[in-house]
Structure 1
Amino acid sequence: MQKRVLVLDYLRGIAAVAVVFGHFLLETKVQNISSYSILFNLTEFLTFKLYWDYPFIAVHVFFLISGFVVPKSYENDGSVQKFFIKRIFRIYPSYVVALIATTLIINLFTREPFIGTRQFIVNLFFIQDLLDSKTILPVAWTLLIEWKFYFLVPILSLSKTSSVFTYFACSAFVFSWCLIPIDLIHYIEQHTKFHLLAVLCNILTDQSPHLLIVLLGTVLAKGYLELWSSKTTTVVSLITISAIFFAFFRLYLKYEPSDVSWIHLNSFIWAFCIFNFAYALRAKIPYISFLKWLGDISYALYIIHLTLGKYVLNFLINYIPNYPTSAVCITLCFCLVVSHFIHILIETRFIRYAKKLTG
């Protein structure tokens, strides 16, 4: 992968729009807005009748793409220090902007509980769940998984000759999180002095299947870039997919069995098929400037859409309650414009600065 794979940018952009649209559609349901739109009814049918939950599919596509491209970025950087500097300057600028904007909006314009300095700081370092603090940006749970993967990347790249062994060591470590006994977690929860440990165990078990999906993206990269043989890639992929299925089933032993668990599993299957199908056709897909643009602004769009979109959408719904589809589309366009300026004015500048800083 000496040059950028455009189809992955396209996928990233489409996935971001799918997540945004899914969240906005959910917001219209929260507001009890009834819609006779064909588009709304179709998405509802896909989600609840065919278990096609496109926002979850999109998130799993994000994870596969991260697992595919991030280890290659680490190899190009050549050192742990350069890698983490670039990751910090890639992730944090837009995240901090969204965090500050959301805090100001909530504190100044809504009746939601006031966000104090402590809450802001713990959200800044993604430890709000660990310290039982309010999550300011609900989408931040995926960023925490990304950071866990970043810490695994240097280990995955320790040795090319034993890359299969190091991969299995990392994936076994992540898989072990889902094996933490539920009864043990409940027992720890009953003892106040160990409350923090119980919360940590819950976080690890919840994130185990998703982080395994990221690791599966790494396996696909090894296979497609011919770093592993096709036989090795197939065997390791099947083992990882089996681990993901088991981890998802194990995860939902904590909750009441419902359609949600099947939606998660089906979403992963769809994401896996879409990713591989798109990559297989990468040479036949032409350059599409709009999709490339969506890919460029995808992270900014993903991280800010709940900051501005939720409140803009609620404002529009109050004025055009009979046209929820129009309200969603207007809000989506607004978020696209804001994301474009965040990408141009903030992301690109910090990325360039990180490159200068790391030489």
Structure 2
Amino acid sequence: MKRVQWLDSLRGIAAVLVMIMHIWEIIVLKYADQYNPFFKEITNFLVIDFFNFGKIGVAVFFLVSGYVIPYSLKGKDLKHFAVSRLFRLYPAYWLSIIIFISIMGLPPIIQLIFNFTMFQKFFGFEDLIGVFWTLQIELVFYFICALLFYFKKLDDSNFLFKATVLLLFATLILSFFRFYYEIKLPVALPLGLSIMFIGLLIRDIHDGVERVKKKLDYKIIIYFAIFLLPICILAYNKDYGFHETWYKYFLSYMLAVIIFFLFLFKGWTNRFTQFFGKISYSLYLLHPITALIITPMIINKYPILSSPLWFTIIGIVLSVIIATLCYYFVEERFVKIGKRLINKYR
């Protein structure tokens, strides 16, 4: 129970960090003239340019997935795993798409169809909502875990250690070609997967699983830091439209690892962060709609509310309310349906 609680708290904080970063980006654009230039630059530097709250949150999510998802296969078969993941991920995801198109209108039908699969990027179609990119990496990780489970490698920590190093090496090679040819190659995919594998290895070490050899210890974190620096310098030295700077990526990902370890060893949790942990997936999916689309509509309709403070309050409150409704009326209910189906055909 303690493990679940600190993980929930960590998920909640990660979702809030991503939301804060996105809200701040809009506020800076919308109310640039209302901020003291020095204050704006300092805040921008801390939230977006030096440490990036969004990247910290995403990296934490990846570590949590690596820590949790492979263990959800224990005592189950692949059919049960697939059903549980389907009912966990897709209903809220589809709802976010429905809400988005109801506000913004229909995109090209072919783009909409592929977005419903969650694999749109792999077929060359843009995400309808920007945060969808991380979910595709999550799905690839699920497929890899399923394959490793099938071939009985998910319990082989020596193999997983080598696989993680190989992923980091592949990311470094991809980063080199991205740097040399100035092509926006998908470095985030192998890097995100390697972070998830690190989460899995940390789980094994922390739980004291017998198959983990002591010589491995936490050496994987040293490998990660050694590989991450040149990866970030090579892959994120040029701005491809997302304000890339190598130090921002390096510092954000390393801080995410530090935050994860603090929660792992300290077990930090409280009811407030646990609540945000419960609604974290819905909050992650829906805040781009509620905070970045609906909130500006409200502000434009009621100019008296046009201020950075009101924008922040409305954006956060509305996001939390909609995410809470989505969790209790969609997420929770479909998870229960998935469990009933699994038990029925067991």
TM tier, smaller: 0.7 to 0.9
Structure 1 segment 1-359 matched on structure 2, within 5 A: 4-36=3-35, 43-47=43-47, 51-76=50-75, 78-107=76-105, 114-157=106-149, 158-159=152-153, 162-169=156-163, 172-173=166-167, 175-176=169-170, 178-180=172-174, 182=177, 202-203=185-186, 205-227=187-209, 228-252=212-236, 260-282=245-267, 285=268, 288-318=270-300, 319-320=303-304, 323-359=307-343
Which range moved further: 153-162 or 137-146? 153-162
Q: Deviations over 1:225-266 (max 9, x none)?
A: 11224431322332244334443334236758x862211110
1:154-173 per-residue CA deviation (whole Å, 9 max, x = no partner) reads 34442476331244236525
Q: Does the aligned pair in 1 maintain the 2:233–2:246 contact within 8 Å?
A: yes
1:270-320: per-residue Cα shift (whole Å, max 9, x none)?
1111110111111xx46x222211100000000011122212221244324
AA partner of residue 97 (structure 1): L
Cα distance 1:259–1:92, how it changes in 2: closer, same or farther (>3 A)?
closer
Q: TM-score, normalised by structure 1?
A: 0.82
Say if 1:309 and 1:331, in contact at 8 Å, map to a contact too: yes
Q: 1:31, CA displacement in angstroms?
A: 2.5
Tell me the residue number matched to 1:194: none
- Corresponding residue SS for 1:233: coil
CA contact (8 A) 1:57 1:268 kept: yes
Cα distance in 2, alignment partners of residues 95 and 161 from structure 1: 31
Q: Residues 208, 34 of structure 1: CA spacing in aligned structure 2 closer, same or farther, 3 A cutoff? A: farther
CA apart distance, 1:182: 2.6
- Is the CA contact (8 Å cut-off) linking 1:13 and 1:292 kept in structure 2? yes
Moved more, 238-247 or 9-18: 238-247
In 2, distance between residues paired with 1:250 and 1:39? Answer: 31
Distance in 1 of aligned mates of 2:178 and 2:201: 33
With normalisation by structure 2, the TM-score equals 0.85
Provide, for residues 81-106 of structure 1, a one-character-per-residue CA deviation record: whole Å limited to 9, x for no partner: 11121111111111000011111211
Map Cα deviations across residues 309-347 of structure 1 (whole Å, 9 max, x no partner). 212221244324752122112221111011111100111
**Aligned equivalents of 2:165, 2:103: Cα separation in 1:** 40
Counterpart contact for 1:222–1:233, Cα < 8 Å: no
Distance 1:166 1:100, change over 3 A: same
The structural deviation recorded for 1:47 is 3.5
Name stretches of at least 5 consecutive residues in structure 2 with no aligned partner.
none
Range with bigger deviation, 223-232 or 123-132: 123-132
Q: Kindly tell me: are residues 184 and 30 of structure 1, through their superposed partners in 2, closer, same or farther at Cα, counting changes over 3 Å?
A: closer
SS at match of 1:115: coil
Q: Tell me, which stretches of 5 or more residues in structure 1 are unaligned?
A: 108-113, 190-198
Letter in 2 for 1:215: F
User: C-alpha distance in 1, partners of 2:147/2:164?
Assistant: 8
Residues 51-75 of structure 1 deviation map (CA, whole Å, 9 limit, x = unaligned): 1222211111111111111111111
Pair 40,65 (structure 1): closer, same or farther in 2 beyond 3 Å: farther
| Cα distance change, pair 36–123 in 1 and its aligned pair in 2 (3 A) | same
* Count of equivalent residues: 334
The 3 A distance-change label for structure 1 pair 43 and 75 is: farther
Residues 183 and 64 of structure 1: is their aligned pair in 2 closer, same or farther, counting only changes over 3 Å?
closer
Letter in 2 for 1:86: S
* Aligned partner of residue 120 in structure 2, secondary structure: coil
